[in-house]
Chains A and B, each alone.
Chain A
Amino acid sequence: MAITFKKMNHTYSPDMPYAFHALKDIDLEIEEKKITAIIGHTGSGKSTLVQHLNALLLPSSGEVEVAGFTVTSDKKPKNLKQLRQKVGLVFQFSEYQLFEDTILKDIAFGPKNFGVSEEEAVKRARAALKIVGLDSSFEERSPLDLSGGQKRRVAIAGILAMDPEIIVLDEPTAGLDPHGSREMIKLFHTLNKEQGKTIILISHDNEIVYRYTDNTVIMDHGEVIYSGPTKELFESDELVEKYSLVLPQLLELKSQLQKKGFSLKKHYDDLEALIKDAAKEVKR
């Protein structure tokens, strides 16, 4: 297991009258080298949960084991920097974290902080820029001149250049156009498949969750209410009903067709295969 939460709680401003118990007795395991989605309503504790992964927040009680480190309530792990190098966290609206005068420098900022030499950092920055789909003409431009989507790519490149084992993304596609978000998710999918990175994705888009993730965690009011394989979750009518999930297109179409009496296979990889089968039935 890459990450294990054990009876973890988190309370914001514990001594104040408005103390808020944001996470309640979290027991959760997240598999290594898999893509895990965390879904749930706004305010359900998703962002709070992931901020424990690199010890930005410490648990109020219980503990989290991440990549061989243990984060507990009383103190930060000794080698905090090593932990933060291993767990790369990309925040919501990450485009606002850019500050250097050139894009290349900004991407190289992370690795340099972790003690990588100047040359190596620049080399990694160039590679990361390419991975996120921006060509070398961007290297010397100012990050503040880019469009929102491009800025976000640069911010993500800044995390990739740190070469983390675990990449945590808090709604990486929020505010991007459909094409842009598709490209973004494909990028993480490739990183997972080709480089074996463990990826944790907070998302509101069940289309993406269903298509690209291996496991899904559902959070509600600070509690984990489901954790298991994504396909099983979405393909079980009972679970979909129980957690009132919005079905992805593919499954929605399938269930509508089945209601009309089409006999279809139990599982389809993509929309195209489903439509082909349905077309065959119509011809018959």
Chain B
Amino acid sequence: MNNIVFGKYIPIDSVLHRCDPRAKITALFLILIAIFLPAGWYGFALIGAFLVIGLLIAKLRPGMVLKAFKPMLFMMLFLLVINIFSVKTGDLWFSWKFINIYSDAVLNTLYIVIRLLLMVTLTTLLTATTKPLELTLGLEQLMKPLAKLHVPTHEIAMMISIALRFIPTIIEETERIMNAQKSRGVDFDEGSLKEKISAILSLIVPLFSVAFQRADDLANAMEARGYVPGAERTRYKELIYQGRDHVLRILSLLILAGTIVLAFVL
């Protein structure tokens, strides 16, 4: 369970870790748009260089990103096969019996692979350097204008942060119950269908009962501390933009501008 890399916060210290979550979320959106602009190889190179520098600054190893990307490899291969058989435009690169591979089929797939790789790197960069609670705090602040339209921004952010807060707890709980049931002879990996169902039941039932109990305790604890949904609240940690946040926002804006120029002007 501890091997899940995608979306996991890596608790080390770097400039990127210390950046304002709002700046990081904004940068994520800008770069995400840039990735989907048809800016060609130069565009990809530009964004790729930016992300690699980001990884270096955040002291994350590229291996981590690749590990997160691994599960998608099969899907990519599948896509390549479908593209080979369906895309019949561009130059004919390879022909053998009924298999004809056209340049566009390969290039299209490559485009998608690169886009996905960039996206995975981008999101990993955000989640690995930002604590889940900071992330929701940032989201809440960014959503604030929507409150004028009667969108319950605070409640949404509270729900997200509670959900995120309890992911590790539930994973821990799952591990503990799995270990306890393994000690009672449950085999989660092998066995007949009937045994598998019994194994899953022995995990799910206690997990649900624990989760409900936790929810109850949390609700009581929140009420005991006077929580009122939607009430005006102050924060212990105020988000204030620093120099580095402006740098991050300006850089990502420049990247977006660059790709727009590459895509539509040149």
In the assembled complex, B180 has its CB within 8 A of some CB on chain A: yes
B177 within 8 A of A: yes
**Consensus secondary structure, chain B interface:** helix
Flag B9-27 by CB within 8 Å of A: 1 or 0 each. 0111000000000000000
Known: A81-B187, A97-B177. A13 touches B209 (CB 8 A): no
Contacts of B2 in A (CB 8 A): 12-13
In whole Å, how far is A66's beta carbon from the nearest beta carbon of chain B?
13
Contact between A113 and B176, CB atoms less than 8 A apart: no
Contact between A56 and B176, CB atoms less than 8 A apart? no
In the complex, per-residue mask of B180-216: 1 if CB is within 8 Å of any chain A CB, else 0: 1111111100000000000001101110011000000
Interface centre among B3, B59, B201, B202 (most CB of A within 10 A): B202
Nearest-CB residue, chain A, relative to B12? A17
Q: Within 8 Å CB of A155, what residues of B? A: 180
CB distance from A3 to the nearest CB of B (A): 16
In the bound assembly, the distance between CA atoms of A109 and B184 in angstroms comes to 8
In the assembled complex, how far is the CB of residue B29 from the closest CB belonging to chain A, in whole angstroms?
Answer: 27
Partner of A84, one of B11, B176, B182, B204: B182
Give the residue of B173, B182, B187, B205 whose beta carbon is less than 8 angstroms from that of A99. Answer: B205
Cβ of A159 under 8 Å from chain B: yes
* A109 and B202 contact, Cβ closer than 8 Å, known pairs A12-B2, A13-B2, A17-B12: yes
Within 8 Å by CB of B202, from A81, A90, A99, lies A99
Determine the residue in chain A with the shortest Cβ distance to B203: A99
A150 touches B (CB below 8 Å): no
**Cβ–Cβ contact A110 & B184, under 8 A:** yes
- Are A84 and B206 in contact (CB-based, < 8 A)? no
Instruction: With a 10 A CB-CB cut-off, give which of A85, A96, A98, A110 has the most chain B CB atoms.
Output: A96
A4-27 toward B: CB 8 Å interface, digit per residue (1/0)?
Answer: 000000001100111000000000
Cα separation A92 to B181 with both chains bound (whole Å)? 13
Task: Name the residue in A17, A18, A91, A114 with the highest tally of chain B Cβ atoms < 10 Å from its Cβ.
Answer: A17
**How many Å from the CB of A21 to the closest CB on chain B?**
15
| Residues A97 and B181 in contact in the complex (CB < 8 Å), given A18-B10, A91-B176, A109-B202 | yes
Which residue from A18, A89, A92 sits with its C-beta under 8 Å from B11? A18
If A17-B59, A96-B209, A96-B210 touch, whether A51 touches B185 (CB-CB below 8 Å) is: no
Given A12-B2, A109-B202: A89 in contact with B10 (beta carbons within 8 A): no
Asked if A94 lies at the interface with its beta carbon under 8 angstroms from chain B, I say yes
Q: Does B179 contact A (CB under 8 A)?
A: yes
- Once the chains are docked, how many angstroms separate the CA of A110 from the CA of B177? 14
Closest to A89 in B: B183
Contact residues in A for B187 (Cβ distance below 8 Å): 81, 113
In Å, the complex CA distance between A155 and B180 comes to 10
* Shortest distance between the CB of A124 and any CB in chain B (Å): 13
The complex places the Cα of A188 from the Cα of B182 at a distance, in Å, of 22
**Complex CA–CA separation, A17 to B8 (angstroms):** 12
Question: What residue of chain A has the Cβ atom nearest to residue B173's Cβ?
Answer: A96
Give the 9 A-B CB pairs with smallest separation, nearest first: A113-B185, A99-B205, A97-B180, A110-B184, A89-B183, A114-B185, A91-B180, A99-B206, A56-B179
Show the binding face of B for A, using Cβ within 8 Å.
2-3, 10-12, 59, 173, 176-177, 179-187, 201-202, 204-206, 209-210
A-B contact pairs, 11 of them (CB 8 A): A18-B12, A54-B182, A90-B183, A96-B180, A96-B209, A97-B181, A99-B201, A99-B202, A109-B202, A158-B184, A159-B184
Chain A interface (Cβ < 8 Å from any Cβ of B): 12-13, 16-18, 51, 54, 56, 81, 84-85, 88-94, 96-99, 109-110, 113-114, 144, 155, 158-159, 162
